[in-house]
Structure 1
Amino acid sequence: MTDTFKDLDHPPRLLMGPGPINVHPRVLRAMSVQLLGQFDPEFTGYMNETMALYRQVFQTQNRWTFLVDGTSRAGIEAALVSVLAPGDDVVVVNAGRFGLLLSEIAERCDARVTLVEGEWGKVIDPQAVEDAVARVKPRLVACVHGDTSTTMAQPIEAIGEICRRHDALLYVDATATLAGMPCPVDQWQADIVTAGLQKCLGGPSGSAPITISDRAAEHIAGRKHVERGIATAGAVSGAGRRIASNYFDLAMIMDYWSDKRLNHHTEAASMLYAARECARVALEEGLDARFARHASAGAAVVAGVEAMGLSVYGDPAHKMTNVTGIWIPAGIDGDRVRARMRTEFEIEIGTAFGPLTGKIWRIGAMGVNARKHAVLTTLAALEAVLRWEGFSATPGAGVDAAAKVYS
């Protein structure tokens, strides 16, 4: 007899790491709606609605605001492979794991990468970015808004002004901040911004919202893209060089999301339903209210862990509101604490990358989990496990301090 394994039946877990997080119940319900054909007028109507919704979420007037099918990394890769041709110069702002990711993808495009590097736990001085841009004269500047590996949020508006002065395109990875911290794309003067659903938007990983300025769209459309060896777009400035990916060719994806509806792929209907509902939930709450809720949750986490006698990692002036890094106390096994949080309380908190491996925990409070009860429950569980592991913490101090933030 074939072993088909057992039903999916794991216990509900409170996901309080840096993402993914628990999915909003409305989004789960939307994902259960029956599929439609990708050219069904009702379905293409949902596509148009999703574009309109995400213009508001991204705080932009960009015509080209839509979804790339795949995780948030799919949006990142689509942006970079569609803009960068072999030999193009790109300046990458790097102060964390995900800045390194941008440089890795750019290198795979055979672009010439110039890194503007900073210390983990801090942001990079915009003057250092300007110096590099003035020297290199890049096609593109690429940076991360909120890097969850360091919990720092890079100021973007100054970089947008630099790019306009030097006629460079600006790409921003806002995976971890969209709908949780202000991401005013037009005010930033950003040309391409991508995100994912699984963090502040409160959805599942698997769809990457993207918005593209007119000048970036013109550059993307101007590059020659080829399907089955047949040129389908003319070559203009900087082009004549084939885009390395068919799936991530934004010019072709834009044709699919345009009124022409040129076939490119079969849209992931359930993920479109999820993304559409994520945006509806965010906009019904109101972006300002949502930003304030995430800020309150982050402040409560900070107050709680400090009241326990723990220290917060990184520059507080540039800390993301929705993710907090916490130094692991000397003599405490960080992995064991995380394991006991999961087995004893069904709560997940995050570990760390690179030079911070084994040194900090990361607690995320975002989306549906940026709520008082989720924050207080997590702090109570962390305090209990720390005391069981021999760390001296005043019982109730963390919860009391966090509750004061909310009061």
Structure 2
Amino acid sequence: MKYTDLNTPNRTIMTPGPVEVDPRVLRAMSTPILGQFDPAFTNIMNEVMEMLRTIFQTTNQWAFPVDGTSRSGIEAILCSVIEPGDKVLVPIFGRFGYLLTEICERYGADVHTIECSWGEVFDQQEIIAAIRDIQPKVLAVVHGETSTGCMQPIDKLGTICREEEVLFIVDAVATIGGVDIKVDEWKIDALIAGTQKCLSIPAGMAPVTYNERVEKVITQRKKVEKGISTETDRLEELDRSHSFVKSNYLDLSMLQDYWSPRRLNHHTEATSMLYALREGLRIILEEGLENRFHRHQLHEQALMAGIEAMGLKRYGNPAAKLPTVTCIEVPTGVNPETVREMLLDQFGIEIAKSFGPLEGKIWRIGTMGYSCRKENVLFTLAALEAVLIRHGAKVETGKAMQAALDIYHNSQLIVHAEVL
């Protein structure tokens, strides 16, 4: 078989991830390769750590990417702090709460869960009551649940976790870079992000940050190997302490040695992905965090206005909505998959279905990172209306685009008034 050059179709990606990658990030990925201990490369590593601290809104020493998709970062944090028998509390309000539960159980944790209906989130007092009742070592919480389009408030949980000596770990994969998250102010002990969502970088890295409370747990799990100093011909890697953590690749004690000034070799860094991460972070800081949060809110509002004007129903409690994902109930009698297929085949637009009890009942539209643009929102609304009409759905024709344009027009008037 003769293979041709790779030529992927152009898509408008409006899923909750992966999303469209900023062209500047793609250009950065073509930068020539450097050796992982070249001073020019280690300087890039240092710059990435500095930029991550700003975006995470933290002064933590440790802020670096784990090589692998966002799940690798989640597992690295959890497997590095959990020992068999440790109590872990996981509030579940969608699919990814179950993922946290599974990962913790694989490392021998005694997992306790509380659950609420999909489409809802917890009152923080419910979680606080569970913390005081269960007395876990770890509270692991999903911040933005893309399966339901809901966002869990977490700003009050860190204070209670400090009082009860609980580690507060947050999965912010769907929110970092699109929603305001204050790691230090909210007393988050460890936070995991992903590159493929609001950061608009290809999937392949999981930026994490953690504080001295987590580092203390990691340090206590080390077992120092005896007698190494007498064997000068041993490899430098054996100078490190050995850990009880089952995973070698995801062991934070080893990863932080790699990202420290010692640069102890642990793995070969994903060079081009680090270039991509650096450029993606630079673009975010160039835009400014507040401006970026405002942009995500604006396009979310325009999309929601268009959906409602079309006569479609949004899924979930509006007060719990995740700003970067909008969930829409599939109209009665409409085949959800043929709608998605027609959007992709005829318009090159991809939207997402859902999971578990919501599969076949809702569509999920992401407004994240570089995909979160006016032309994408307007194109998606126009195409969705056309496809639904072809499917015989009852929609208010012509109203969706006008409602979205009203949002954009009014936003421009507000900006103009503020300038004056």
TM-score (norm 1): 0.95
Residue in structure 1 matched with residue 379 of structure 2 by the alignment: 377
Q: Quote the Cα distance in structure 1 between the aligned partners of 2:353 and 2:157.
A: 30
Q: Quote the Cα distance in structure 2 between the aligned partners of 1:22 and 1:230.
A: 42
Residue in structure 1 matched with residue 3 of structure 2 by the alignment: 5
Q: For the structure 1 residues 203 and 399, does the alpha-carbon distance in structure 2 shift closer, same or farther, using more than 3 Å as the test?
A: same
Q: Percent identity?
A: 52
Residue in structure 1 matched with residue 168 of structure 2 by the alignment: 170
Residue in structure 2 matched with residue 48 of structure 1 by the alignment: 46
Q: CA deviation at 1:128?
A: 2.0
Do the aligned residues in 2 keep the contact of 1:202 with 1:368 (CA within 8 Å)?
yes
Aligned residues: 399
Q: Quote the Cα distance in structure 2 between the aligned partners of 1:204 and 1:225.
A: 37
Q: CA deviation at 1:318?
A: 1.7
- Match among 385, 395, 402 for residue 397 of structure 2: 395
Q: For the structure 1 residues 401 and 242, does the alpha-carbon distance in structure 2 shift closer, same or farther, using more than 3 Å as the test?
A: same
- Match among 74, 92, 95 for residue 97 of structure 1: 95
Q: Quote the Cα distance in structure 1 between the aligned partners of 2:211 and 2:321.
A: 28
Q: CA deviation at 1:396?
A: 1.9
Residue in structure 1 matched with residue 125 of structure 2 by the alignment: 127
Residue in structure 1 matched with residue 323 of structure 2 by the alignment: 321
Matched, 1:157 2:155: yes
Do the aligned residues in 2 keep the contact of 1:192 with 1:213 (CA within 8 Å)?
yes
Do the aligned residues in 1 keep the contact of 2:16 with 2:366 (CA within 8 Å)?
yes
Residue in structure 1 matched with residue 307 of structure 2 by the alignment: 305
Q: How do 1:80-229 residues align onto structure 2 when only pairs under 5 Å count? A: 80-224=78-222
* Deviation readout 1:118-169 (Å, 9 max, x if unpaired): 1111111222212221122111100011010011110111111221121101
Do the aligned residues in 1 keep the contact of 2:312 with 2:395 (CA within 8 Å)?
no
Paired amino acid for 2:253: A
Do the aligned residues in 2 keep the contact of 1:22 with 1:202 (CA within 8 Å)?
yes
- Match among 227, 233, 238 for residue 241 of structure 2: 233
* Deviation readout 1:316-357 (Å, 9 max, x if unpaired): 112111100000000000000000000000000000011100
Residue in structure 2 matched with residue 237 of structure 1 by the alignment: none
Do the aligned residues in 2 keep the contact of 1:224 with 1:232 (CA within 8 Å)?
no
Q: CA deviation at 1:5?
A: 2.2
Q: CA deviation at 1:361?
A: 0.1
What are the ranges of 5 or more consecutive residues in structure 1 without an aligned counterpart? 235-240
Residue 403 of structure 1 aligns to a residue in which SS?
helix
What are the ranges of 5 or more consecutive residues in structure 2 without an aligned counterpart? 226-234, 410-420
Which is greater in Rg?
A: 2
Q: Quote the Cα distance in structure 2 between the aligned partners of 1:293 and 1:153.
A: 18
Do the aligned residues in 2 keep the contact of 1:180 with 1:294 (CA within 8 Å)?
yes
TM-score (norm 2): 0.92
Q: Quote the Cα distance in structure 2 between the aligned partners of 1:188 and 1:225.
A: 32
Residue 303 of structure 1 aligns to a residue in which SS?
helix
Paired amino acid for 2:403: A
Residue in structure 1 matched with residue 292 of structure 2 by the alignment: 290
C-alpha RMSD of matched pairs (Å): 1.6
Paired amino acid for 1:20: P
- Match among 360, 363, 385 for residue 361 of structure 1: 363
Q: Quote the Cα distance in structure 1 between the aligned partners of 2:401 and 2:223.
A: 56
Q: CA deviation at 1:4?
A: 4.5
Do the aligned residues in 2 keep the contact of 1:226 with 1:242 (CA within 8 Å)?
no
Q: CA deviation at 1:232?
A: 4.1
- Match among 325, 343, 346 for residue 344 of structure 1: 346
Paired amino acid for 1:206: G
Q: Quote the Cα distance in structure 1 between the aligned partners of 2:303 and 2:333.
A: 22
Q: CA deviation at 1:395?
A: 2.5
Paired amino acid for 1:373: E
Paired amino acid for 2:387: V
Residue in structure 2 matched with residue 278 of structure 1 by the alignment: 280
Q: Quote the Cα distance in structure 1 between the aligned partners of 2:90 and 2:51.
A: 30
Residue in structure 2 matched with residue 76 of structure 1 by the alignment: 74
Do the aligned residues in 2 keep the contact of 1:222 with 1:233 (CA within 8 Å)?
no
Q: Quote the Cα distance in structure 2 between the aligned partners of 1:263 and 1:299.
A: 47
